[in-house]
Structure formats: structure tokens, C-alpha cells
Structure 1
Amino acid sequence: MVRAEVVALDPVLGTPVAEALRACPEVEPTSPEEPAQVAVVVVDRMGDGALGLVTATLGARHRPRVVLVAPELSPAEARRAVAAGVSGLLRTGEASAARLGGAVLAAAGGDCAMSAGMLEELVGWGVGLRPPVSSVREGADGSAGPRGSVLTERERAVLRLVAEGHETGEIARRLCYSTRTVTGVVHGITRRFRLRNRAHAVAFTLREGLL
């Protein structure tokens, strides 16, 4: 069971999402006083207020992963949300119990979950979200900087499956790796390029032509 809470400035917005979570057999809804592994942040529109709520939730004492639910998400807004650290993105109309539950489970497992077509929108990554070349540390394989870097065949294979929405366990089975190896591969990429999470890693490497 994954413990999840709903965070919304307006309780009316959070009610249908909370009801959807209660319909997920593998998700245990929690109260604000209880530590949750995943927080589902529900907003009525994107903007500084929404991003502020995401940042505050990520900085909570129990440090939950965040799935963001919003009515509409433009490519620029989706990029800002991923850069802020969210692990999942869903449009309100797509937040069915099954899809919401899947996003919560994926986030809890360190994976990323997005609405259909969201990843393609993220490929047009904004310059302001790209780590400066001077700040990217040289990787163990000698790579130094986004444009001059390469991914190993193993890294590309793992990221391709992440981009297709597969979770860590499934990726491990498909590639005959341990789940620890898959997690380590993704962690190595995010650390090397100073990216925030898996969603950021996939969008970044697609944009840079590394996949």
C-alpha cells in the first residue's frame, strides 16, 4: 500500500481527486497530519501560486513525491512543473481512478507518469531549464557537458523504456537487470546532468538528441 494525500488550496478541487484515490486498492489515503509517500497536488490553474504549493509540498517534513493535477498544462507550464520537481503530471479530465492510482504508484517507486502526449510536449525543453554547461560535472565515462556527452547503450535502453512509461520492475524484467541496477542507471544520469527526476531526464536527453 502506498500512502497518499491530496493537497489543494480549495477543498472543493481536492474532493473528486480524493474520491478517486479511495477507489484505488493499492493506495491508502492519509490525513494532512499523517506522513504520506506521495502528495497529489490539485490546482485550478497553473501559475506562481500553483508552483509555490508544489515547492512547499516537496519541502514538507516527510518529503513526499508530488503528482500534479491541473485542468490544462501548456508545454511551458509542464516544463516548469517538472523543473520544480514533480514526479507526475495529469490533466484533470484524465485523472480517473486507474490513471491517478498508476501515477501515484509510479511516483512512489521513483518512476514518472504523464498524460498521453505530455512527454512529446516536454521535448521542446526551455533554455532556462537546461543546466549550464559549466555546472555539469564530468561523468565517470569522461563525458563533460550536455552537448558533448553521450549515453551508454545500457543508459539509452533504460531511458527509452522510462520514456514509454514502464516502471522500474518492468524495465528490469525486459532488460534482464536487477531493479537496483535500473535505479542506479537512472540515478547516474540525473546526477551527471544535474537533473531533478526521471521525467526531467527523459525530456532533457530527448531534446539533446542523446536518445
Structure 2
Amino acid sequence: MGDPVSVSVIALDPVLEAGTRSTLLACPDVALVERGEETRVVVMIVDRVGDPELEVLRTTRGVPRPPDVVLVASDLTVAETLHALALGARGLLRRREADTGRLARAVLAAGRGDCTLPPDLLDRLLERSTAPDAGGGDLGSLRGADSLSDRERSVLRLVAEGHETNEIARRLCYSPRTVSTVVHDITRRFRLRNRAHAVAYALRAGLL
């Protein structure tokens, strides 16, 4: 077991912020720090994901050593999710689903560089990315890139849900080394930074 992941909480409602901090205190792998202190992960609680909220996300990430952000919102649309991912969010949860276990899981996934999305939202993103009219902007050229194999898609789906390498290996009946190799091959082929970047890229490019 490594050191606890440092986490701070941002919320406009002080009661909500206090409640979120109390929830995270129940996770022994998390170390809470005060807002404004250097931290590995920021949990951002919002009602909606509009321009002001996205600007806070952009500002939070716009520091020399940017923290990974877990965004918890009342609801999440496909467009809002893509905007948040593009700005560097590494975990997205709906407030009604953010119980102690799920919130801690999203925070710890962000802390190790992984990306977490609600399964139904991931499905909606995948449906959109494969729709005939799903093109747009500079993503059109990405859609012509090398496609993912069925094995690569399966691995990335589970990465997006926040599963660790060993759990992905058990679910897919692969060895942990095979899972790590698959992810490494994807990041190298598309010149991506890490597993979270691979998930965001694949979703936006329609490769999943």
C-alpha cells in the first residue's frame, strides 16, 4: 500500500463541501488537504456543468503542477462530459451516485492517472461516437486513424470505469502483463500521455 492520495474539495455550497470532506474521511487511502494547498486530486462539486464551472476546472488545472480533477455534478450530458474531459477532468460522477465507495474509487483512480465515468454515460458516449453524424471539428481527421481491436476496446472500457489492471485481467481472463501491454501499445501508437488520455482520445475520436 502506497502513501495516501492528497485530496482537496471545491464546492460553492460550504455545507456540501463539508459533507464531501466528511465522506472522504472514511477512506483510509485519502489524505484531505485544505483548498488552495498543493494536492494530487481535487474533487469539484457543482450543480451544473456550464461555462463558469468549466472555467473553474480550467483554472484548477492551469497551475505548474496541475491536480487531477474528479467532477461531481447533479447531472451530466454527453457534451458536458466531453468538454470536461478535454479540460483535464479524470473522473465524472453524478451527485446522486457519489456515495463513499464510488467517490473514493474515482479519487483513487484519478490519483493513479486513470479515468472514471458512469457506465451508462460511457455507453451514451460510445453510441454518439459511432453514429453516422457523429463527426465534427478537428475530430474528423482522428476518425481516420488506426482503429482499435476488440481486445483494446474491452480493456479501455474497463479502464474508463475505473478498474485497476489486476481486476481488468480477471474480468477478461488475461494476465496483468497482457493488460498493461495493451494499454501501453495504445498510448504509444497514438502518442498519448497515459491511460486517462487514451480513454478521452478514444471517446472523442470515435475509436471505441
> Could you say whether these structures have the same fold, taking a TM-score greater than 0.5 normalized by the shorter chain as the test?
yes
Q: Which amino acid aligns with 2:125?
A: L
The 1:23–1:196 alpha-carbon spacing in structure 2 relative to 1, beyond 3 Å, is: closer
Asked if the contact 1:89/1:113 (under 8 Å) is kept, the reply is yes
Aligned residue for 1:201, secondary structure, equals helix
Q: 1:46 to 1:163 in 2, by over 3 A?
A: closer
- Secondary structure in 2 matching 1:151: coil
- Pairing partner for 2:101 from 98, 102, 121: 98
2:144 matched to which residue of 1? Answer: 147
Task: After TM superposition, list the pairs within 5 Å mapping 1:156-171 onto structure 2.
Answer: 156-163=153-160, 165-171=162-168
* Aligned residues of 2:114 and 2:196 also touching (Cα < 8 A): no
Inter-CA distance 186–169: structure 2 relative to 1 (3 Å threshold): farther
SS of the residue 1:175 aligns to: coil
Runs of 5+ consecutive residues of structure 2 not aligned to the other structure:
none
Residue 105 of structure 1, CA deviation: 0.5
Between 1:21-30 and 1:159-168, the stretch displaced more is 159-168
Structure 1 unaligned segments of length 5 or more: list them: 134-144
Q: 1:160 to 1:97 in 2, by over 3 A?
A: closer
| CA displacement, residues 61-98 of structure 1 (integer Å, 9 cap, x when unaligned) | 33111110111112221222122221110011111111
Q: Which residue number corresponds to residue 138 of structure 1?
A: none
Residue matched to 2:110: 107
Partner of 2:139: 131
- Aligned to 1:111, the other structure's residue is in SS state coil
SS of 1:200's partner is helix
Q: What amino acid does structure 2 have at the position aligned with 1:119? A: L
**1:129 to 1:74, Cα distance in 2 relative to 1, 3 A:** farther
SS at match of 2:89: coil
TM-score, normalised on structure 2? 0.78
Task: Tell me which amino acid in the other structure corresponds to 1:46.
Answer: V
1:12-41 per-residue CA deviation (whole Å, 9 max, x = no partner) reads 332221111111121111112432111111
Partner of 1:119: 122
Q: How many residues align?
A: 196
Greater displacement, 114-123 / 34-43: 114-123
Deviates more, 1:55-64 or 1:168-177: 168-177
Residue 44 of structure 1 and its aligned partner are, at CA, apart by 1.9
Following the alignment from structure 1 to structure 2, what is the Cα–Cα distance between the partners of residues 38 and 29? 10
Alignment RMSD? 2.9
